[in-house]
Amino acid sequence: MAQELQTYLSEIRDNLEKGIIPFWMRNGIDKEFGGYLTSFDENGKPLPDTDKYIVTQTRMIWGFSILYKKYRSPELLAAAKQGVDFFIRHFWDNELGGWYWKVNRQGTLLDDGKVVYGQTFAIYALSEYTLASGDQLGLEYAEKTFDLLQKYCADTARGGYYENLERDWSLSAPGFAAGDLKSLDIHMHTMEAFTTLYACSHKEIHRRKLVEIIELLVDKMMDKEAGCGYNQFDVNFNRKPAINIRRTWNAERETGQVMDGPTDSTSYGHNVEFVWLLNRAMETLGDNSGKYDALCIKLVDHCLKYGFDAQRGGVYRDGPHEGEPLVRDKEWWQNCEVLIGFLDAYEHYGDQRYLDAFKKTWEFDSKYMINHEVGEWKQLLSEDGQPLTVNIGNPWKGIYHTGRAMLECTERLERLSR
């Protein structure tokens, strides 16, 4: 088996080192204005959309930082650092604190919303930047963001964090602007962010808030019977069929089936991403009690039962808590995250089915999803691999899912193939 895993390792490392890193180093850095460009057509040529979103800008900072931690090439560090400079200069609200949602290419403010999803990615990216570079500026802003999140975004009556806030940190309106709901999405990414923040700062308060967000996710946001995450809730954590929310990928997606909702759906990719992020969080906390293993196994099994294409490999986009998928398209990010999640589950729980799911998904990804000439991944395919959206980058797609998947899988395969 070690030999077989070596083959996967080599293919995956190649995609990272010869595809993803060179593509983004060559195309992703805005040499004129700083920060990052992320919209590219199927041939990797720049598209006219050059607006800069907090989510993608921070994910690019994160990606170049963690890659610098691994490869120690000064170009990677410089790519991260110039992104941090642009980000602090143009996204930070000097008056009221926190990060804006969107600026144009030059850095002129376009959307001053304070979205929790964006704040958490700032924490994630800036902490990783400090971990990689030693430059304390990243952690300084990450901690400031953490403090503002605690002050303005936590719900001290019911626990958890609100979703969308305005520039002045008042809650956004109910409904589409989501001032009245809580989502698995932002809470999962808060866990992800606090994991890296704590790994960087070693502060007790960051540890405590990481433990709290884990407890909240497990106790209130998981459908433990079905074995999947529930997507949206009212502020009291009563389940609400999911709607599309302002300033989210699903509300802004250019192509692919839009579920008008409200829908009782779950995301297979998200659930398996949650598993490996939770395992990473527990490892960072030094907690090897295994107390969430049963839940994690249920989540992966739910994906294998309902969301995984056992014939062709890869996972479908969305489905109900039980039963056949609602949207059978295959999207890049879910098919990145499950690679890590399946391997992670195999490493933790030793079930051969998880390794098999990883292999079949990688084979599908490698054959259909990756644009090997350009080096990066396409965006959206039909279930049998036919291209639906083949752009390489968009305002939401950068180095984060693909680079992270290849990096995390490389590290796991190195261990497993020894």
To a second copy, the closest distance from the beta carbon of 139 in angstroms equals 16
Nearest-angstrom CA–CA distance, 162 and 177: 11
To a second copy, the closest distance from the beta carbon of 150 in angstroms equals 4
To a second copy, the closest distance from the beta carbon of 114 in angstroms equals 12
To a second copy, the closest distance from the beta carbon of 241 in angstroms equals 24
Nearer to a second copy, 104 or 170 (CB): 170
Nearer to a second copy, 190 or 271 (CB): 190
Nearest-angstrom CA–CA distance, 259 and 261: 5
Instruction: For Cα atoms 410, 74, 143, give the angle at the middle one, nearest 5 degrees.
Output: 80
To a second copy, the closest distance from the beta carbon of 49 in angstroms equals 34
To a second copy, the closest distance from the beta carbon of 187 in angstroms equals 10
Nearest-angstrom CA–CA distance, 321 and 331: 19
| One-letter-per-residue 3-state SS of 56-124 | HHHHHHHHHHHHHHHHCCHHHHHHHHHHHHHHHHHHECCCCCCECCEECCCCCEEECCEEHHHHHHHHH
Nearer to a second copy, 99 or 354 (CB): 99
Cβ atoms of 173 and 181 closer than 8 Å: no
To a second copy, the closest distance from the beta carbon of 32 in angstroms equals 39
Contacts of 18 (CB under 8 A, 6+ apart): 375
**Beta carbons within 10 angstroms of residue 151's beta carbon:** 11
Nearest-angstrom CA–CA distance, 157 and 337: 33
Nearer to a second copy, 169 or 349 (CB): 169
Nearer to a second copy, 156 or 352 (CB): 156
Nearest residue to 369 via CA among 359, 356, 382, 350: 382
Nearer to a second copy, 69 or 144 (CB): 144
Nearer to a second copy, 107 or 159 (CB): 159
Nearer to a second copy, 216 or 327 (CB): 216
Nearest-angstrom CA–CA distance, 278 and 215: 11
Nearest residue to 281 via CA among 344, 230, 354, 350: 344
To a second copy, the closest distance from the beta carbon of 285 in angstroms equals 14
Nearer to a second copy, 194 or 364 (CB): 194
What type of residue is 15? N
Backbone angles phi, psi at 116, to 5 degrees: -60, -40
Residues that bind a second copy (CB under 8 A): 147, 150-152, 154-161, 168-171, 204-205, 208-209, 211-213, 215-216, 219
Cβ atoms of 36 and 28 closer than 8 Å: yes
Q: What would the two tokens of residue 272 be? A: 């398996």
Cβ atoms of 106 and 97 closer than 8 Å: no
What type of residue is 293? D
Backbone angles phi, psi at 366, to 5 degrees: -65, -35
To a second copy, the closest distance from the beta carbon of 182 in angstroms equals 12
To a second copy, the closest distance from the beta carbon of 277 in angstroms equals 17
Nearer to a second copy, 200 or 216 (CB): 216
What type of residue is 163? E
